A and B are shown apart, each in its own frame.
Chain A
Amino acid sequence: AQSVAQPEDQVNVAEGNPLTVKCTYSVSGNPYLFWYVQYPNRGLQFLLKYITGDNLVKGSYGFEAEFNKSQTSFHLKKPSALVSDSALYFCAVRDRYTGGGNKLTFGTGTQLKVEL
């Protein structure tokens, strides 16, 4: 079985400060990991993914995420937050070796609020 946890319902950060949105996962094998962002009244947009290789993954809009196998984490980060980054962020996981096709398991989402 595969699962993902986003321990924070909301993260508040001041504009210009670094931000971190946390994600931990559980799979029986090796994971594919994803981050998505959802702006109000919009569908989810793909931000970045970890498939294999370098543990630091860079994505859209200056976001990056670090895969940590020992801690089973895939935290989303950005060095300097913008007010326009305020949105709902979802982490998702897929076990690389399951026969479940391309089924992703999504976390419950973390609301990021960036204030001036």
Chain B
Amino acid sequence: DAGVIQSPRHEVTEMGQEVTLRCKPISGHDYLFWYRQTMMRGLELLIYFNNNVPIDDSGMPEDRFSAKMPNASFSTLKIQPSEPRDSAVYFCASSLVLAGHNEQFFGPGTRLTVL
């Protein structure tokens, strides 16, 4: 298995632009998570899905952030409009929830820089 795939790996954009981050989870996994990592705030859970349905979006910082999961093999995290404080590394992770299989598998991340 190729693992969790994220694209792009790096994104540099200007303030006010729309940014879309993409994630392909591990095939067969039923949970998908979006995290943000910064030096100041550490690792933050933004939102997670179960069987393509959003379960908890309480970590989404504001209405500028939205996430979708149209099918089991694809999810997007969109920021519109982007701001410099959104600069961070965004990780996608997936998991299969069976007895004894709760670990999450992380993608390589997308490093976002908003100028």
Residues of A within 8 A of B108 (CB): 42-43
Partner pick for A101 among B43, B97, B106, B107, CB 8 A cutoff: B97
| Minimum CB–CB distance for B102 against chain A, Å | 5
Is A108 positioned at the interface, with any CB of B under 8 Å from its CB? Answer: yes
Of A15-23, A45-53, A62-70, A72-80, the stretch lying at the interface with chain B is: A45-53
What's the interface size class on A, roughly? 20 to 34
B103 touches A49 (CB 8 A): yes
What's the interface size class on B, roughly? 20 to 34
Residue of A nearest to B91 (CB): A43
Residues of A within 8 A of B18 (CB): none
Residues of B that sit less than 8 Å from A by CB:
4, 31, 33, 42-43, 45, 48, 50, 55-56, 91, 93, 95, 97, 100, 102-109, 111
